[in-house]
């Protein structure tokens, strides 16, 4: 379900007063929705995008996204793109943009990934085609799938399983262990500092 805004919140969002929005609603310039229980006006995120001129055409864009973790896996990236191209050709899909990333699936700062998600948020994307779930993200795929659905974007998978090369999976697991080990060490150091401070206070 997409975000909804009260008339006051929507007014702040677009820089208009409540009275202006009420007038626009009456005049049919920007018609508000009505709550069935209270009959109060409310607005949707789609209306915000439309007001900003960011709402995509009804058909939207079709994007193909591919990813590998490291430069050494460029042959895998080529194979991935070949499979995606074959799928689109077989299903007579016209692709508007081909996006590739080289970076860990644990890294949400990937340039291509953020570019695609920004377009989704702006309502510009109808379909994203990927080879496997973990080509988009290593963890949290369900969240991003729901995010896309809220913005009327369909995620299409060639394969539903996680089929990363074994070396890539091992590398990502090591990264996870390293991060949590560092946090655990930091927590222990913090506890020691607090304990030492408490002892010093008692001595004082």
- The CA angle 106-108-114, to the nearest 5 degrees, is 145
- Is 29 in the same domain as 95? no
Number of domains in the chain: 3
- Is 179 in the same domain as 153? no
- Is 182 in the same domain as 138? no
d(CA 49, CA 56): 9
Q: What is the pLDDT confidence band of residue 135, given thresholds at 50, 70 and 90?
A: very high
- Is 12 in the same domain as 89? no
Q: What is the CATH number of the domain that holds 24?
A: 1.10.1660.10
**Catalytic site residue from 17, 38, 69, 72:** 69
DSSP annotation string for 20-58:
HHHHHHHHTSSPPEE-TTT--EEEEHHHHHHHHT-PPPT
- Is 84 in the same domain as 111? yes
The residue assigned the tokens 């607090």 is 194
- Is 204 in the same domain as 150? no
* Mutual angle of helices 45-52 and 7-14, in 10-degree steps: 30
The question of whether 164 is a catalytic residue gets the answer no
- Is 38 in the same domain as 82? no
d(CA 151, CA 154): 9
Tell me: pLDDT of 161 over 60.
no
Reported as a single tens digit per residue, the pLDDT across 31-79 is 999 988 889 999 998 888 888 877 655 568 999 999 998 888 899 999 9
How do 97-102 and 154-157 pair as beta strands?
Answer: unpaired
- Is 135 in the same domain as 188? no
pTM here is 0.57
- Is 116 in the same domain as 87? yes
d(CA 65, CA 72): 19
DSSP annotation string for 107-148:
-TT-HHHHHHHHHHHTT-EEEEEESSHHHH-SS-HHHHHHHH
Strand partners, 157: 130
- Following CA atoms 36, 41, 45, 51 in sequence, which dihedral angle do they give, to the nearest 10 degrees? 140
Question: Is the pLDDT higher at 122 or at 167?
Answer: 122
- Is 152 in the same domain as 169? no
Print the domain residue range for 139: 61-157
């Amino acid at each position: 379900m997409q975000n909804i805004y009260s008339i006051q919140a929507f007014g702040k969002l677009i820089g208009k007063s409540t009275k202006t929005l009420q007038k626009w609603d009456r005049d049919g310039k920007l018609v508000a929705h009505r709550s069935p229980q209270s009959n109060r006006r409310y607005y949707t995120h789609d209306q915000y995008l439309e007001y900003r001129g960011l709402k995509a055409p009804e058909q939207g864009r079709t994007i193909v996204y591919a990813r590998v973790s490291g430069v050494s896996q460029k042959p895998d990236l080529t194979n991935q793109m070949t499979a995606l191209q074959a799928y689109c050709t077989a299903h007579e899909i016209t692709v508007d943009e081909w996006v590739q990333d080289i970076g860990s699936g644990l890294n949400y700062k990937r340039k291509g990934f953020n570019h695609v998600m920004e377009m989704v948020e702006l309502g510009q994307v109808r379909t994203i085609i990927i080879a496997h779930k973990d080509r988009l993200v290593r963890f949290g795929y369900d969240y991003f799938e729901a995010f896309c659905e809220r913005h009327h974007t369909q995620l299409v998978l060639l394969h539903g399983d996680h089929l990363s090369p074994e070396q890539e999976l091992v590398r990502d697991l090591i990264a996870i262990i390293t991060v949590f080990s560092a946090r655990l060490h930091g927590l222990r150091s913090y506890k020691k500092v607090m304990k030492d401070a408490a002892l010093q206070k008692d001595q004082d």
